[in-house]
With several copies, the nearest count.
Chain A
Amino acid sequence: MSIELQYTAKQRALRQEVREWLQTNVPKKSLASYDTAEGFEAHRQWERTLHSGRWSMVTWPEKFGGRGLDLIEWLIFEEEYYRADAPGRVNQNGVFLFGPTLMEYGTDEQKARFLPRLASGEDIWAQVWSEPQAGSDLAALRSTAIRDGDHYVVNGHKIWSTRAVFADWGFALFRTDPASERHRGLSYIVFPLDTPGVRVRGIPQLDGEAGFAEIFFEDARIPVTNLIGAEGQGWSIAMATAGFERGLMLRSPARFQRTAQRLVELARRAQSDADPGLLASVTQCWMDAEAYALSTYMTASRLMSGGSIGAEASLNKVFWSELDLRMHRAAIGLLGARAELRDRLGESAQEDLREAMRWMDGFLFSLAGPIYAGANEIQRNIIAERVLGMPKV
């Protein structure tokens, strides 16, 4: 079939169904940040609500609590989700990274054990990868998991673990062969964050909230049944996960389209005072958010016709992270002195102050975009080497 840019009746019906469900179920009051204890529990509750409507992981197979939606349907779901300003997904790492990994590499026992609780929001998952000396250079990991009977004894120091302060479980890479180097000898192991010998310390981020954590392991014992895949297979599993992360699903285009829409609305209100270059940059941002969405539809269509994801992951990562930063910078520029104010006056705050604070929150977060999930400079190397065939140095 050739290019056809109209939705089918089935797709329209799905959109209608999602829209109606969200209209009924999205909390009227926005939830507190999931980087606070209270907000985390409110977001966990929202995961349960989503699950009750079978909307928590729409692309998963039905047997694991999903709806088996295809990628175009997933995009439609996401469009409606962001259109409704529904809460952020506190279990994002579980839904988009760990879940798909487990479906591909886990045993049936592991799937049965982890997936239903993940889907229902009973378990919230954190990614436990980086170490102080291993950020973008993940192969430099040093934390060890040494086999001792039917347990691994884990020692080491992980860092920049998102959501780990309040999450229940972590998925991690450890060195199971202490004599190994670089990407050999790493294994993919999951563990409850309250395992004895595991100590989680929140790291305050730029906005002062503990959005990530460092994790210290001192002879923590983790059952070998928590190994995903084979020993030593950790690197290739992790790279598959990284493909998901940088690729299609971690940052759905709807997120940026919604931000672009809010930005254009802000610009419309400010246009009588703002400088023309800034207003033009708003239009450019809107165009780029649209381009990202169109590109994702193309990739989704290609994947559904049997293609596989390649360097798009790196192209996408660079594009959306820099777009997100540009959008938030434009908003801060439009807000002028209002952008500075950070005090939570609660209910009494006027809507325009609350909006300004949302933009500053988003700006601070967007600064991290070019850094996490593989720094953009690394992604540009990958594009040059894998897409353009330029030499690796």
Chain B
Amino acid sequence: MQFTFDEDQRLAAQSLRDLLDDLCTGADLRRAAEACDATSFTVACATRRDRIKELGFDAALVPEAQGGLGLRPVDLVLLAEEAGRAALPEPLVETAGVALPLLAALAAIDPRADAVLPAAIGGAGIALRWPDSDLVVGIDTADLVLTAESETSLALYSVDQFEWVARESVDPLRRLTQLRARAVEPITVSRDASIPSLWREARRCAAVFDAAQLIGLADRMNALAVAYSLERKQFGKAIGANQAVKHQLANVQIQIEFARPVVYSAAGSLGGSLSAPTDMDTRWLDARVAHAAIAARDAADLAARTAIQVHGAMGYSWELDLQFYAKRSWALSGLHGGRSAHFRSLHEALMQQRIELGPDQLFGRSLPRGA
């Protein structure tokens, strides 16, 4: 039992943070948001995109036997937090945390997918279309598309087998598109019996990494609010000297600090790869993942509202960079059914006695039953 990150994990997160502090500032985001079309957007982000690729995190979760780094999801969670803190427009987390591991898991059972895997590890972009949505993020830079009609199959396409139309998100930096398949053949379609569990695990990973991004976003928003409160004067003193403001920002920090361990523990309970068993009974794991999704959303929701309030009228203007973080947090918060779906599933599990309770059950059952 050891619930703290190691030096390597911290250093990796710090290296990403340093890079994004340089290349993903508020001004960078604004430039990208004001890019008038997809091409100029892509150009505006090209340097950052290349530098991120160079960090080599994309294949972090792909097993070593398949040419990846063989790391565990928990190794990526601080990176996801940093991506959130910077409102990173690139789908680093989506690729490294979900799409590439899903492709690797497919490759392990499907030779045609296996043939494509090296190119994907080498930098080919992968977009992921969930079975229950027709919207896709990051198609601009994708070469491959993973998708399916339902969670019992998994199909791999080349990106040029689709047409797409841009859809506008509340977050100007989320490049949403809606895909229309041309009438062509996929690279492969698998209906292996393991596919449903791959989709389930992919959803858990997506939920946890989105939660980690939301924690980073919340932290950034509160930091912006604190900084503004120290700088802005009203009635002859910094507004941050008002106890009401201090307590509001303290409340946000409390919410963030008690969401973090939930997100980290959910990450720490995920399996080493999408097809590896998890450490926890899946009903417990689902509860912890839902809990992480909820806690992170609540922290980001409170942080966004509070930061906007503290900024006064300025908080409501497009001029303020805060908007990019707030809008990212609103967009991410709605995904996969949003807080409501996560809460409902957790609530029903609790009320219908599908998970065991008690002080000794924090990490799943700690001793065999009847001990």
Contact = CB atoms under 8 A, between A and B. Distances in A.
Q: Do A and B share a direct contact in the complex (Cβ within 8 angstroms)?
A: yes
Interface of A: 1-8, 11-12, 15-16, 19, 72, 76, 78-80, 82-83, 130, 133, 135-137, 140, 159-160, 203-206, 208, 212, 253-254, 257-258, 260-261, 264-265, 267-268, 271, 273-280, 282-283, 286-288, 290-295, 297-298, 300-302, 305, 312, 315, 318-319, 325, 329, 332-344, 360, 367-368, 370-372, 375-377, 380-381, 383-385, 387-391, 393
A204 B344 contact: no
Interface in B275-306: 279, 291, 294-295, 301, 305
Contact of B347 (A283, A371, A377): A283
B319 interface: yes
A353 B7 CA distance: 47
Interface stretch (B55-63, B108-116, B168-176, B195-203): B168-176
24 contacts: A2-B75, A3-B5, A5-B3, A19-B371, A140-B235, A264-B350, A268-B353, A283-B350, A290-B262, A297-B265, A315-B254, A337-B334, A339-B330, A340-B170, A341-B167, A360-B170, A367-B316, A371-B315, A377-B245, A380-B244, A383-B253, A383-B254, A384-B246, A390-B246
B351 A271 contact: yes
A135 B310 CA distance: 12
Contacts of A72: 1
Interface in B316-371: 316-319, 323, 330-331, 334-341, 343-344, 346-347, 350-351, 353, 357-360, 362-363, 366-367, 371
Interface residues of B, number: 95
A37 B282 CA distance: 49
A339 B241 contact: no
B335 A7 contact: no
A3 B4 contact: yes
Interface centre among A4, A368, A388 (most CB of B within 10 A): A388
A198 B265 CA distance: 51
Given A135-B234, A342-B168, A11 B1 contact: yes
Contact of B242 (A130, A278, A298, A377): A377
B316 A368 contact: yes
Contacts of B1: 4-8, 11, 72, 297, 301
A79 to B, nearest CB: 4
Nearest to B288: A290
B91 to A, nearest CB: 15
A348 to B, nearest CB: 12
Contact of B340 (A12, A136, A336): A336
Contact of A290 (B2, B229, B291): B291
Contacts of B264: 3, 294, 298
Interface centre among A78, A278, A333 (most CB of B within 10 A): A333
A298 B4 contact: yes
B215 interface: no
A347 B105 CA distance: 43
Nearest to B290: A287
A359 to B, nearest CB: 11
A380 B251 contact: yes
A56 B360 CA distance: 20
Contacts of A82: 359
Interface string B229-250: 1100111001011111111011
A275 B340 CA distance: 5
B184 interface: no
Given A337-B133, A383-B253, A384-B247, A275 B351 contact: no
A83 B168 contact: no
A348 B358 CA distance: 29
Main secondary structure, interface of B, reads helix
B226 interface: yes
Nearest to A342: B168
A133 B338 CA distance: 39
A204 B314 CA distance: 11
B133 A280 contact: no
Main secondary structure, interface of A, reads helix
Interface centre among B8, B261, B267, B330 (most CB of A within 10 A): B261
Contacts of B75: 2
B172 to A, nearest CB: 8
A243 B94 CA distance: 41
Given A4-B1, A136-B234, A291 B330 contact: no
Contacts of A370: 309
Contact of A5 (B168, B222, B279, B351): B279
Contacts of A135: 234, 312-313
Contact of B330 (A80, A137, A312, A332): A332
B340 A274 contact: yes
B258 A288 contact: yes
Contacts of A203: 317-319
Given A257-B358, A287-B294, A340-B171, A275 B347 contact: yes
A83 B317 CA distance: 31
B64 interface: no
Given A274-B340, A391-B241, A287 B346 contact: yes
Nearest to A345: B167
Given A273-B344, A301-B3, A385-B246, 8 more contacts: A2-B8, A15-B366, A72-B1, A135-B313, A204-B319, A283-B351, A290-B262, A387-B253
A12 B164 CA distance: 55
B261 A295 contact: yes
Nearest to B244: A377
Contacts of B267: 3
